[in-house]
Amino acid sequence: MSQSTAIRVLLVDDHAIVRQGLAAMIENEPDMTVVGQVGDGLEAIALYRQLQPDVTLMDLQMPQMSGADATLAICAEFAQAHIIILTTYDGDEDIYRALRAGAKGYLLKDAEPETLLRAIQIVHSGQQYIPSEVAAKLVQRMNVPELSDREQEVVRQMALGLSNHDIGVALNITESTVKFHINRILSKLGVSDRTQAVITALRRGLAKL
């Protein structure tokens, strides 16, 4: 297949060794070619505008701007963008945010090479690629109450080990307001104490260490 008809792929990952490994694998396919590589979300937006690739493989956790935010920005500007999230994060909130941002696929980095190559072809054809285990977590996410933006801010501060007083100072709210938000968080997450709330938030991708 000629370069002009091959699937043009953009790689976005902050680890050069990951990008190089992906590039070597993709370039080995007769119907695919890598047209660009970048290491953060901001660079991804700029290079996407320049190259307008057929498919983009996007990491989630990166400096400057996350993969979910970069995906949201690209899809807002290019409605036909075909973006596959390729990440180590499998929390239901990570999956939900990425797909809500406009990603057409979601794969974990421990996937088999053949699975990734097939995902690129499927997403390029206009279909979504969401493995069954990812879909199951997405369904789970859809069935639990959503934390408000303020509650997400509070739970992220909790994950950093801050006291109610320190959370109040950090977010410029009173300590009693912090307690109110924490009680709401415990109720929504279905847990009974702060430690369980933090563990659940980290597992689901609501907070990162």
What is the SS3 assignment for 55? strand
- Global pTM value: 0.73
**Which token pair is 109?**
């980095």
Average pLDDT of span 159-177: 95
Q: Quote the CA–CA distance of 100 and 93 in Å, as a whole number.
A: 10
Give the pLDDT confidence of 57-70 residue by residue, as tens digits.
999 989 889 999 99
Q: Quote the CA–CA distance of 129 and 103 in Å, as a whole number.
A: 10
Does 86 have pLDDT greater than 60? Answer: yes
Q: Quote the CA–CA distance of 132 and 130 in Å, as a whole number.
A: 6
Domains of the chain in start order, with CATH, are 7-141 (3.40.50.2300), 149-204 (1.10.10.10)
Give the pLDDT confidence of 97-109 residue by residue, as tens digits.
888 899 999 999 9
